[in-house]
């Protein structure tokens, strides 16, 4: 794949896992949830991404992660 044809996705924030996960594999929703020390529900997966540049993506493609060069802050739920 040509470098110019690659997709670019910007991670914008955290998302709660969706109950549709159990439709894929029964019990998967429970596997991606936990509770913190205060008993609050914590999702262990799920992010909101914004497609900055479209491109073809295939199973097994490599993912390159580029951290922002400016000040980094923890992701917040969106």
Domain map of the chain by residue range? 3-53
Q: Which pLDDT belongs to residue 3? A: 59
The model's pLDDT over 6-24, given as tens digits with 9 standing for 90+, comes to 899 999 888 877 888 889 8
Q: Which pLDDT belongs to residue 2? A: 61
Q: CA-based Rg of the chain, rounded to a whole angstrom?
A: 16
Q: Which pLDDT belongs to residue 4? A: 66
Q: Has residue 1 got a pLDDT over 60?
A: no
For 23, the enclosing helix (H) or strand (E) is helix 21-24
The model's pLDDT over 23-75, given as tens digits with 9 standing for 90+, comes to 989 998 888 888 889 998 887 778 889 999 999 888 998 888 888 888 888 88
Q: How far is CA 39 from CA 17, 32, 35, 43, 55, in A?
A: 18, 15, 5, 13, 41
Q: Which pLDDT belongs to residue 51? A: 94
């Amino acid at each position: 794949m040509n470098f110019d044809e690659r997709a670019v996705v910007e991670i914008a924030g955290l998302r709660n896992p969706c109950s549709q996960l159990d439709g894929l594999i029964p019990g998967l929703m429970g596997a991606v949830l936990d509770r913190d020390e205060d008993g609050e529900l914590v999702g262990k997966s799920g992010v909101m991404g914004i497609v900055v540049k479209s491109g073809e993506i295939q199973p097994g493609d490599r993912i390159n992660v580029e951290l922002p060069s400016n000040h980094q802050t923890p992701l917040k739920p969106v």
